[in-house]
């Protein structure tokens, strides 16, 4: 077996690749560089950032934003005289170091926050979607992959989990099987093979060109001469042994696909006179996975090679190009799918005896409705995202039209909901209502928690151990009760009341919709009372709720915060909180347009600058265990 580190192997991202492979090749086994990736994954990220600290009462609920830019000519800005009185009309400097002795201003969302400091660079394992997208980008559509281990989302996103969790033994085997499956399909098909390499693999110059172009795309950076020599040596050696240059090249490509440089986004940063930043090629990957959720194209890698991604104008030009590309629809759409938890609709389950209209296709149709609304607002109209909470324009198919008691349609059809429809906005869409309900009954608690968590970024802790969370034990000896009545009794328990008061009132305003998202006026034959209030403002139904939420700053600030987490692959630290809140302010200033928000994040120091590397983390020169470690 080759590709397994020797005992005591010391890995860093620039290590000489001769250390990665033993001199003995066992022909009966496929290349297994994935073993190194598994070792790197076993603790690769070091200490991750601390959790979000809620803002003080009276603040904006955690608005985020971009870090302020320095003055164009700082040296030309005169310093005030020591005894000079401060100018009361002067604009505050968002980058100024806070005065530790100053009293926080309760009206200032940045009050009491430390100066911005970027997070340390780390390793980001490709998510399952990113892996599949990378294979398609490299080899074209139609490649069939074996199953990959499911992602483990943390803080709502697979990208965060991929930066914090290890590669399991099962995943290591799956990556090996996937690499070989790709090679078998590509190199076993004359047309695919010719599309990949239009010259003879026995020709050394031909292979050199292949490693220069294909290798750069796969590893998202140019290959070093020793890396090319290693891979080319595999191709030649095994090509000679099998008397088949194509097969030898296939083994080398398999090794390349199992390398940590393919399976991980390796980020170290570089020191400059202005501080530590991500390199041009690291920025190429950060941009591409943020906007497209796949590997950089040749144009982006060319920009990196030319040094344009560490230049303000060059970076802005590439960000605009990526956002204008259709691949941005899938990339940004993927962010919203994770943010809103839409993946649960692909496997939505309801009791068929209670809901005979439930089919295998209804959940995906619900998901398509939400995704169509987002795509329309973000890409077709470049509109204010808050309209998602209030829109009456939606897309339904035959099943959804029947569920909504609308005239029949054939195929997905964009419609305008009637003026007297009880539906409207995100919280009138069956998918969101059904996601946050039980198999047979609605759940005001789940729906309220969803709004608090997803729309206002207010995290509610799980119930204490041993506390009964089910309403099944509520006494109904005197007759059936509505869910509202049961919850009123449940909240009589003081251990439940503290959290339920943040969730139940919101969800109770949506009680006219059952567990599948169908409209109703009664429950167990009893009239439903869906009147409620949000922070003292009365509402009833999704249209009222959406209107109230759209008027609050929480939603825009929360979207900005969630994008920051998704795009950076980590939970914001206290030192990044200033940047996150400013990002939310910038989002509001730009009219809550999502593409402007993505652009603002991509151009912000919080996305471009790297903190000091953690020397104790793998990828930064840390000791890695050997085969016995």
Q: What per-residue confidence (pLDDT) applies to 487?
A: 79
Q: Does the pLDDT value for residue 619 go beyond 90?
A: no
Q: What per-residue confidence (pLDDT) applies to 109?
A: 80
Q: Does the pLDDT value for residue 452 go beyond 70?
A: yes
d(CA 434, CA 365): 12
Q: What per-residue confidence (pLDDT) applies to 129?
A: 97
For the full predicted model, state whether its pTM sits above 0.85.
Answer: no
Q: What per-residue confidence (pLDDT) applies to 491?
A: 65
Spatial neighbors of 64 by CB under 8 A, at least 6 apart, are: 557, 560, 561, 564, 579, 580, 581, 582, 583, 584, 585, 587
Q: For residue 416, with 0-12 CB atoms within 10 Å meaning exposed, 13-18 middle and 19 or more buried, which class applies?
A: exposed
Q: What per-residue confidence (pLDDT) applies to 103?
A: 56
Grade residue 46 by pLDDT with cuts at 50, 70 and 90. Answer: very low
Q: Which two tokens stand for residue 518?
A: 């169908």
Q: Does the pLDDT value for residue 17 go beyond 50?
A: no
Rounded average pLDDT over 101-120? 79
Rounded average pLDDT over 126-152? 96
d(CA 157, CA 340): 10
Q: What per-residue confidence (pLDDT) applies to 102?
A: 52
Average pLDDT, the chain: 83
d(CA 44, CA 12): 11
Q: Phi and psi for 270 in degrees, rounded to 5?
A: -145, 150
pLDDT tens by residue, 365-385: 999 999 999 999 999 999 999
Q: Contact 41/125 with Cβ under 8 angstroms?
A: yes
Q: What per-residue confidence (pLDDT) applies to 497?
A: 65
Report which secondary-structure segment, H or E, holds 546: helix 542-550
Q: Does the pLDDT value for residue 274 go beyond 70?
A: yes
Lowest-confidence pick of 25-39, 302-316, 411-425: 25-39
Q: What per-residue confidence (pLDDT) applies to 344?
A: 96
pLDDT tens by residue, 50-81: 333 333 333 333 333 333 333 333 333 333 34
Q: What per-residue confidence (pLDDT) applies to 614?
A: 74
Q: What per-residue confidence (pLDDT) applies to 472?
A: 63
Q: Does the pLDDT value for residue 21 go beyond 70?
A: no
Q: What per-residue confidence (pLDDT) applies to 574?
A: 96
Q: Contact 31/253 with Cβ under 8 angstroms?
A: no
Q: How large is the C-alpha radius of gyration of the chain?
A: 27
Q: Which residue(s) pair with 10 in the sheet?
A: 623
Rounded average pLDDT over 22-49? 31
pLDDT tens by residue, 174-201: 999 999 999 999 999 999 999 999 999 9
Closest CA to 301 of 215, 216, 196: 216
Q: Does the pLDDT value for residue 234 go beyond 80?
A: yes
Q: Which residue(s) pair with 522 in the sheet?
A: 527
The per-type count for the chain, helices as H runs and strands as E runs, is 24, 12
Grade residue 500 by pLDDT with cuts at 50, 70 and 90. Answer: confident
Q: Where are the domains of the chain?
A: 10-47+124-266
């Amino acid at each position: 077996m080759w590709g397994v580190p020797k005992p005591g192997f010391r890995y860093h991202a620039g290590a000489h690749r001769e250390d990665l492979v033993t001199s003995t090749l066992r022909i009966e086994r496929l290349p297994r560089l994935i073993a190194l990736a598994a070792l790197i994954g076993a603790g690769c990220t070091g200490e991750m950032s601390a959790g979000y600290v809620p803002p003080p009462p009276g603040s904006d609920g955690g608005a985020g934003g971009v870090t302020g830019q320095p003055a164009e000519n700082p040296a030309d800005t005169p310093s005030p005289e020591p005894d000079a009185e401060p100018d009361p009309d002067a604009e505050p400097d968002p980058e100024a170091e806070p005065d530790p002795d100053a009293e926080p201003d309760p009206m200032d969302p940045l009050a009491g926050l430390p100066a911005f400091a970027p997070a340390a660079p780390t390793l980001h394992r490709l998510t399952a979607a990113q892996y599949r997208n990378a294979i398609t980008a490299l080899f074209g559509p139609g490649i069939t992959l074996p199953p990959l281990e499911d992602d483990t989302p943390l803080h709502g996103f697979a990208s965060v989990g991929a930066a914090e969790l290890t590669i399991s033994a099962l995943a290591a085997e799956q990556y090996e099987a996937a690499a070989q499956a790709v090679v078998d399909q590509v190199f076993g098909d004359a047309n695919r093979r010719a599309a990949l390499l239009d010259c003879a693999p026995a020709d050394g110059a031909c292979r050199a060109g292949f490693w220069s172009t294909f290798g750069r795309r796969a590893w998202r950076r140019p290959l070093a001469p020793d890396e090319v020599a290693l891979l080319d040596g595999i191709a030649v050696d095994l090509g000679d042994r099998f008397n088949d240059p194509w097969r030898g090249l296939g083994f080398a490509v398999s090794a390349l696909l199992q390398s940590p440089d393919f399976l991980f986004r390796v980020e170290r940063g570089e020191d400059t006179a202005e501080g530590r930043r991500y390199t041009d090629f690291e920025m190429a990957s950060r941009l591409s996975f943020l906007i497209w959720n796949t590997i950089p194209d040749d144009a982006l890698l060319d920009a990196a090679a030319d040094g344009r991604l560490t230049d303000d104008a060059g970076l802005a030009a590439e960000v605009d190009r990526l956002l204008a590309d259709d691949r941005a629809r899938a990339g940004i759409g993927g962010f919203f799918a994770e943010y809103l938890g839409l993946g649960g609709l692909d496997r939505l389950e309801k009791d068929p005896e209670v809901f005979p209209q439930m089919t295998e296709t209804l959940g995906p149709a619900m998901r398509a409705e939400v995704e169509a609304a987002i795509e329309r607002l973000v890409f077709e109209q470049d509109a204010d995202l808050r309209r998602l909470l209030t829109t009456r324009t939606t897309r339904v198919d035959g099943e959804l039209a029947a569920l909504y008691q609308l005239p029949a349609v054939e195929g997905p059809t964009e419609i305008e909901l009637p003026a007297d429809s009880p539906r409207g906005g995100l919280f009138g869409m069956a998918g969101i209502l059904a996601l946050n309900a039980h198999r047979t009954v609605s759940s005001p608690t789940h729906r309220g928690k969803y709004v608090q968590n997803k729309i206002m970024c207010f995290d509610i802790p799980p119930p204490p151990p041993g506390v009964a969370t089910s309403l099944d034990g509520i006494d109904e000896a005197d007759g059936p009760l509505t869910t509202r009545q049961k919850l009123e009794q449940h909240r009589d328990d003081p251990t439940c009341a503290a959290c339920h008061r943040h969730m139940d009132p919101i969800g109770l305003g949506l009680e006219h919709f059952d567990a599948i998202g169908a409209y109703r006026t009664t429950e167990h034959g009893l009239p439903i009372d869906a009147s409620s209030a949000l922070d003292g403002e009365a509402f009833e139904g999704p249209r009222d709720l959406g209107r109230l939420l759209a008027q609050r700053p929480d939603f825009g600030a929360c979207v900005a915060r969630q994008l920051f987490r998704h795009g950076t692959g980590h939970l914001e630290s206290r030192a990044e909180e200033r940047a996150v809140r400013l990002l939310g302010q910038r989002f509001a200033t730009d009219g809550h347009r999502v593409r402007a928000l993505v652009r603002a994040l991509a151009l912000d120091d919080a996305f471009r600058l790297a903190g000091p590397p953690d020397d104790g983390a793998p990828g930064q020169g840390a000791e890695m265990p050997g085969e016995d470690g």
